[in-house]
A and B are shown apart, each in its own frame.
Chain A
Amino acid sequence: MRAPLPPASAPTPPAAPARSAPGHLPALPLRRDDPLDPPPELALIRQETPISRMTFPDGEEGWLLTRHEDVRAILADGRFSADRITASSPVRRINFRPEERPGLMLTMDPPEHTRLRRLLTPYFTTRRMQALAPRVERIVAEHLDALRAAGPPADLVPAFTLPIPSLVICELLGVPYADRARFHAWSAASLSLTAPEAEVLAARDALKSYMRELVDAKRRDPDDALLGTLIRADNDLTDAELGGIGRLLLIAGHETTANMLALGTLTFLTHPDQLAAFRGAPDAADRAVEELLRYLTIIQFGTTRLALEDVEVHGRRVRRGETVVLSLPAANRDPAHFDRPDELDVTRPPSQHVSFGHGIHQCLGQQLARVEMRIAFTGLFDGLPGLRLAVPADEVPMRDDMAIYGVHRLPVAWEE
């Protein structure tokens, strides 16, 4: 499913992405040919040039990087800031207002990032997350029981892929799962690229108020979950920071894994040979999870960094204050780094994919995500024999309109 590439010595000027109007710089390519592949124009750009000038929806001009080596290098380069207050975004992003910022360490640079990250990291270590496996297995089993009790067909998004990571992160944080209808709606609005701006801001404000009230309640009566533990621990976190940490971890903790589970399931169901390879070997699940992370790259528009000083990149001068887009999907399909990059191969050895980012902001919850995906995929295909799509694959509604890619619904059936 590779985009045909032009001959290396194309006589025409360097390929310009389709939507560029005369006199205007191109924007980030968004149109996919295949729902499981990145926009093919990205492959063209990656081949043609290491760094491209591009324009943002806010009218600003900046840069696009698509090659694996460059994306990793800039994500690990302290001259580029994770700022989300003033940086531009390749798709609509309503940047954080200053009052939203406390606790949101993904927008921070050292040393303030380091302070928060080191306070939180002990609660997300590899061994701690792996120790949650028995609890995740029970949660997965309960949802499979409910699916079997109701019988096919079913939409796996509300019945399996969303509730499992949502319940896990609620228990970890100490957020009442009973409130999920509200925060799922706020979270969905926050990640929408098409909802009216007022609706997005209202959802963010509602989640902010909700989390502050929860922090107040934990101050009065701290429990043993993460927010209560942080309140009891000897640290200097403010209530605003605790609220920000709660919002960040709640959204990041369920939206990402939920979409990987749903999109990964669709991928297995449309690649039966890969499903067979995944199910064929007892230790295949870990590699399969990594390959799905690489192949699907649900952070579909990549991430951005803001230059803190003028930096020379491949002979071009990135000026202080300019935004750089790092295309994670393009980097994860870079033939200079991956053999057969556009081929899904769940037996691939551990790879340096950038789906969790790279550098100091690499995903705090990645080890939890791995545990959840391994158990949920294994449980799903063991627990629902003959699992199949209940609609043609091209009728599954894709999340082109959301900051995090995936499917809106996943109608399936199985053998009772």
Chain B
Amino acid sequence: MRVVADHDLCLGAGQCVLHAPEVFDQSDEDGTVVLLTETPPGEQVEKVRVAVRMCPNAVLSLEEEKEEDAPVVGSSSSSG
């Protein structure tokens, strides 16, 4: 799974760092998102999904890669 950030949209609310601090950081210059890794390890995937969902400006998206050892597509995450 690959994380993609549309930097121009980012207003630095910091939700991604709150929910997945191992994957996201914020720039010291303008507070916008910095990807610490584009391909988070399996144990981070659920946190990254939460971060994507929480982003207030649809900055983040996920590209699923076809050959992954575990099927993560459609993993059941409660959107409560």
Query: Is A339 touching B80 in the complex (CB atoms < 8 A)?
Result: yes
**B42 CB contacts on chain A under 8 angstroms:** none
Q: Contact partner of A358 among B17, B31, B56, B78, CB < 8 A? A: B56
A357 at the interface (CB under 8 A from B): yes
Q: How far is the CA of A119 from the CA of B26 in the complex (A)?
A: 13
Q: How far is the CA of A359 from the CA of B25 in the complex (A)?
A: 19
Interface residues of A toward B: which range?
20 to 34
**B19 CB contacts on chain A under 8 angstroms:** 350
Main secondary structure of the interface of B (DSSP, over half): loop
Binding stretch for chain B, among A122-130, A132-140, A152-160, A389-397: A122-130
B58 at the interface (CB under 8 A from A): yes
Q: Contact partner of A122 among B18, B27, B50, B57, CB < 8 A? A: B27
Query: Is B54 touching A122 in the complex (CB atoms < 8 A)?
Result: no
Binding stretch for chain B, among A36-44, A244-252, A360-368: A360-368
Q: Per-position contact with A for B48-80: 1 when CB-CB < 8 Å, else 0?
A: 001001101110000000000000000000111
A338 at the interface (CB under 8 A from B): yes
Q: Which residue of B lies closest to A125 (CB)?
A: B26
**B53 CB contacts on chain A under 8 angstroms:** 352
A49 at the interface (CB under 8 A from B): no
**A124 CB contacts on chain B under 8 angstroms:** 12, 14, 31
B28 at the interface (CB under 8 A from A): yes
> Shortest CB–CB separation between residue B51 and chain A, in angstroms?
10
A209 at the interface (CB under 8 A from B): no
B30 at the interface (CB under 8 A from A): yes
**B32 CB contacts on chain A under 8 angstroms:** 118, 121
Q: Kindly identify, within residues 366 to 405 of chain A, every residue whose CB is under 8 Å from any CB belonging to chain B.
A: 366-367, 370
Are A352 and B54 also in contact (CB < 8 A) when A126-B17, A338-B80 are?
yes
Q: Which residue of A lies closest to B29 (CB)?
A: A122
Query: Is B80 touching A351 in the complex (CB atoms < 8 A)?
Result: yes
Q: How far is the CA of A63 from the CA of B21 in the complex (A)?
A: 39
Query: Is A349 touching B57 in the complex (CB atoms < 8 A)?
Result: no
Are A362 and B27 also in contact (CB < 8 A) when A76-B57, A338-B80 are?
no
Q: Contact partner of A367 among B18, B27, B78, CB < 8 A? A: B18
Are A126 and B14 also in contact (CB < 8 A) when A121-B32, A350-B19 are?
yes
A79 at the interface (CB under 8 A from B): no
Query: Is B11 touching A114 in the complex (CB atoms < 8 A)?
Result: yes
Q: How far is the CA of A328 from the CA of B78 in the complex (A)?
A: 21
Q: How far is the CA of A380 from the CA of B63 in the complex (A)?
A: 44
A408 at the interface (CB under 8 A from B): no
**How many residues of B are counted as interface, with CB atoms below 8 angstroms from the partner's CB atoms?**
25
Q: How far is the CA of A364 from the CA of B78 in the complex (A)?
A: 26
**A350 CB contacts on chain B under 8 angstroms:** 19, 50, 54
Q: How far is the CA of A124 from the CA of B28 in the complex (A)?
A: 10
**A359 CB contacts on chain B under 8 angstroms:** 56-57
Q: How far is the CA of A349 from the CA of B14 in the complex (A)?
A: 18
B13 at the interface (CB under 8 A from A): yes
> Shortest CB–CB separation between residue A301 and chain B, in angstroms?
20
Q: How far is the CA of A357 from the CA of B32 in the complex (A)?
A: 18
Are A366 and B14 also in contact (CB < 8 A) when A76-B56, A359-B57 are?
yes
Query: Is B56 touching A357 in the complex (CB atoms < 8 A)?
Result: yes
Q: How far is the CA of A114 from the CA of B10 in the complex (A)?
A: 10
Query: Is B78 touching A121 in the complex (CB atoms < 8 A)?
Result: no
Query: Is A349 touching B78 in the complex (CB atoms < 8 A)?
Result: yes
**B12 CB contacts on chain A under 8 angstroms:** 117-118, 121-122, 124-125
Q: Contact partner of A349 among B27, B28, B31, B80, CB < 8 A? A: B80
**A349 CB contacts on chain B under 8 angstroms:** 78, 80
Listed A/B pairs (22) with beta-carbon separation below 8 Å: A76-B56, A76-B58, A121-B11, A121-B12, A121-B31, A122-B27, A124-B14, A124-B31, A125-B12, A126-B14, A126-B17, A127-B17, A127-B25, A337-B79, A339-B80, A350-B19, A350-B50, A350-B54, A352-B53, A357-B56, A359-B57, A370-B18
By a beta-carbon cutoff of 8 Å, the part of chain B in contact with chain A is 11-14, 17-19, 21, 25-32, 50, 53-54, 56-58, 78-80
